[in-house]
Amino acid sequence: MKFGASTWLWTSPFTGDQIALLENIAALGFDFVELPVEEPSHIPVATLKPVLAHLGLEVVICAAVTAGRDMSAESSAARQQAFDYFESCLALAEGLGASCVVGPLYAPVGKARLGTESLRRAQWERSVASLSQLAQTAGNCGVKLGLEPLNRFETDMINNVADAQRFLQQVASPYLGISLDSFHMNIEETDFRRAVVSAGEQLIHLQVSDSHRGVPGDGNSDWAGLRDGLRAIGYRGKIGIESFSPDASSLAEAVCIWRRFAESQDDFARDGLAFLRRWWAGA
């Protein structure tokens, strides 16, 4: 199994001059890095590709789906703006040799409302149409898209595996799969093993932290159930630690990180990786 870490664990935004952070992630023993794309121009392929190759780090691209990147928006101009952003993410993924682009691609984080049935249906249909088009672009790039369910406080559209599968069925593209995050699963799924088994071959990526978004192994997540589900489906994707640094104040406020979960972010990463290796090797 290949384990990685998101640069969000240390900083926001990630930029091409933060080579030392990539060196640190490799030195900590990770196999890959998740690169969040807060601004596509911040990530220069020509600069980063040889560095990543030298460090032996594979890449997963994580979309930063903010309010101006809404594939479900009523305005066609707004949807086009979102499409252009995701197209840039795919170009970065192709250029860096990333296995996938993951995130809540269907609607921005924080778009959570108690809308009418007709409003919700229209929002859903616009997002399906937009992702159907984006999946064609992904196919041309040879990069898969991973649809990430978020908890109810962050989206009203896709909260669990069942929601994601209904969306995937309507898009019907081999280039659109599911990316799960154990933090959101801990809120929305009743059974980790069952959720993973249900996702099956559609699961292309997994992000983890513990139930409190802290160091893996320090909370009350069902790690045994998660591992059993992954083994049952013969999971061959990657597992990345995603949490956030309170030092990155704007992002920390957005995701409600009010305290530290370890003495340092390096300790968070180091202890989390050690736990994941023991966990995956366990009976």
Active site residues: 148, 242
Residue among 237, 226, 223 at smallest CA distance from 60: 237
The answer to whether the beta carbons of residues 270 and 26 sit under 8 Å apart is no
Tokens linked to 160:
């669990």
Contacts 24+ apart (CB under 8 A), 214-218: 214/243, 214/261, 214/262, 214/268, 215/261, 215/262, 215/268, 215/271, 215/272, 215/275, 216/241, 216/272, 216/275, 216/276, 216/279, 217/271, 217/272, 217/275, 217/279, 218/261
